[in-house]
Amino acid sequence: MERRSIGIVMNGVTGRMGYRQHLVRSILAIREQGGLPAADGSRIWPEPVLVGRSERKLAELAAKHGLAYTTNLDAALARDDTHIYFDAQVTSEREGAIRKAIAAGKHVYTEKPLTESTESSLDLAALIRAQGLRNGVVQDKLFLPGLRKLKRLIDGGFFGRILSVRGEFGYWVFEGDWQPAQRPSWNYRAADGGGIVVDMFPHWHYVLEQLFAPVRSVTAHIATHVPTRVDEAGAEYKATADDAAYGIFELDGGIVAQINSSWTTRVFRDELVEFQVDGTHGSAVAGLRNCRIQSRATTPKPVWNPDLPVTEPFRDQWQTVPDNEEFDNGFKVQWEHFLRHVVDATPFPWDFMAGVRGVQLAELGLVSAREGRRVEIPELS
Ligand SMILES: NC(=O)c1ccc[n+]([C@@H]2O[C@H](COP(=O)([O-])OP(=O)(O)OC[C@H]3O[C@@H](n4cnc5c(N)ncnc54)[C@H](O)[C@@H]3O)[C@@H](O)[C@H]2O)c1
């Protein structure tokens, strides 16, 4: 079958997300499966050109996977055989690189958050739209098995009227002194684009908006619980960004979502993120992979009596939602949608404007925390 090469300038592939999720688990995995069928019967064949700052690291990666590389972004963007620019750099470097890609006439797919402010994100969204270029922002959580099952429940009317959503996200991120930290140090420095609000609120935005309803207000309290950490080089630094955020979001239809995000909590849950959804006809608890439900008819009737030991095996009273389909890697599934969007103009709702709304929620979440008040979220146009 004829191959249709789509050149992708991949920037930031030496990083955690860029390498593992985007290059290996998505782009190389698509090649391993023989490419992607296009509408005209050919196979879409992603052809990455790796871009980054370190010649040594890039050469190593390129040799390992038999790919092209360069440390010169402008040169990669100037090539006629590159069609898409992809960005998984640290957030603070993203805007400038995307502007160059747009100027070079490339379609753009990027990690979240789109940029560091609503204003600049909106500007990029307007710019890329005016150029008629395709654009997308990673919204990987939507493609996770647990959230896909949740979506299936919502679409099937399982919940009746949805009342509330409670999310718990987080785990202990080591300070870096006696055990190395498992996240990069820039995540804990505000000046470098760090902070859990900026990192996680864009995710919560698309999860809430696309599964439940538009988000109308935010009330957030943030904290930097661990004030000093140790970086990759073993040097102590001051953590200037929030490492925990306690948020309340009001959605259309009176749905109240409460989401805790923390890098300073220890996990006593089944998964690193879990959402409990309560509705008039049933409830569900969804994680990354699993989803359990309890319907109205099987809801027990506990009676509050602290003098007695627990009377009900509460966890056993839930039922597991079956897979009923094969779930592929979420990043790869979204990449496949984007490649088809570029080649065949198939719909792709996870565009820059969706990304802007995620950045806006993070920005207004920080305003809420700073000013100690509930902040309404204006519609963007
Ligand atoms: N979708 C998700 O679930 C998810 C999860 C984590 C991170 N992210 C996003 O992915 C992006 C990368 O995060 P990561 O955790 O992979 O980070 P990382 O520190 O592991 O990787 C950062 C990459 O950017 C490059 N870079 C370019 N300019 C840099 C500079 N001036 N300083 C430092 N690095 C620079 C690095 O070389 C590296 O390739 C961030 O925007 C982050 O918000 C998304």
Same domain, 70 and 99: yes
Peptide bond into 378 cis (omega under 30): no
- Mutational pocket test of ligand 1: of 90, 144, 199, the residue with most ligand atoms within 8 Å of the beta carbon: 90
Tell me the three state secondary structure of residue 49.
strand
Ligand 1 centroid to residue 14 C-alpha, Å: 9
Nearest Cα residue to 195 out of 207, 206, 183: 183
- Which pTM was predicted? 0.96
Would 184 be classed as within a structural domain? yes
Helix (H, G, I), strand (E, B) or coil at 76: helix
Domain check: are 120 and 222 in the same one? Answer: no
**What beta strand segments (E) does the chain contain?**
3-11, 36-37, 43-51, 68-70, 84-87, 107-110, 135-137, 162-170, 215-223, 228-230, 236-238, 244-251, 256-262, 273-279, 282-286, 291-295, 319-320, 375-376
The tens place of each residue's pLDDT in the chain, 381 residues long, gives 799 999 999 999 999 999 999 999 999 999 999 999 999 999 999 999 999 999 999 999 999 999 999 999 999 999 999 999 999 999 999 999 999 999 999 999 999 999 999 999 999 999 999 999 999 999 999 999 999 999 999 999 999 999 999 999 999 999 999 999 999 999 999 999 999 999 999 999 999 999 999 999 999 999 999 999 999 999 999 999 999 999 999 999 999 999 999 999 999 999 999 999 999 999 999 999 999 999 999 999 998 999 998 888 999 999 999 999 999 999 999 999 999 999 999 999 999 999 999 999 999 999 999 999 999 999 997
- As for how many domains the chain has, the answer is 2
Residues 116, 181 within the same domain: no
pLDDT for res 1: 76
For residue 154, what is the domain's CATH number? Answer: 3.30.360.10
* Ligand 1 atom nearest residue 93's Cα: 28
- Tell me the CA–centroid distance for residue 11 and ligand 1, in Å: 10
Helix axes 352-371, 118-130, angle to 10 degrees: 170
Give bridge partners of residue 317 from the DSSP assignment. none
pLDDT value of residue 242: 98
Closest ligand 1 atom, CA of 199?
43
Structure tokens at 260: 């805790």
267-287, pLDDT tens digit by residue? 999 999 999 999 999 999 999
- Name residues contacting ligand 1 (CB within 6 A): 12, 14-18, 52-53, 88-91, 93, 111-112, 138, 140, 184, 199
Range of the domain at 177: 141-328+360-371
Nearest CA among 363, 376, 366 for reference residue 122: 363
Q: Ligand 1 centre and the CA of 252: distance in Å?
A: 33
Residue 247 lies in a domain: yes
> How remote is the C-alpha of 86 from its chain's centroid?
15
- Tell me the CA–centroid distance for residue 114 and ligand 1, in Å: 12
Ligand 1 mean position to 23 CA, how many Å? 13
Ligand 1 atom with least separation from CA of 183: 15
Residues 200 and 340 both lie in one domain: no
DSSP state of 18: I
Domain annotation covers residue 335: yes
Q: What is the CATH number of the domain that holds 103?
A: 3.40.50.720
> Which are the contacts of 90, defined by CB distance < 8 A and separation ≥ 6?
12, 15, 184, 186, 192, 193
Residue 377 lies in a domain: no
Say whether both 280 and 201 belong to one domain: yes
Task: Establish if 355 belongs to a structural domain.
Answer: no
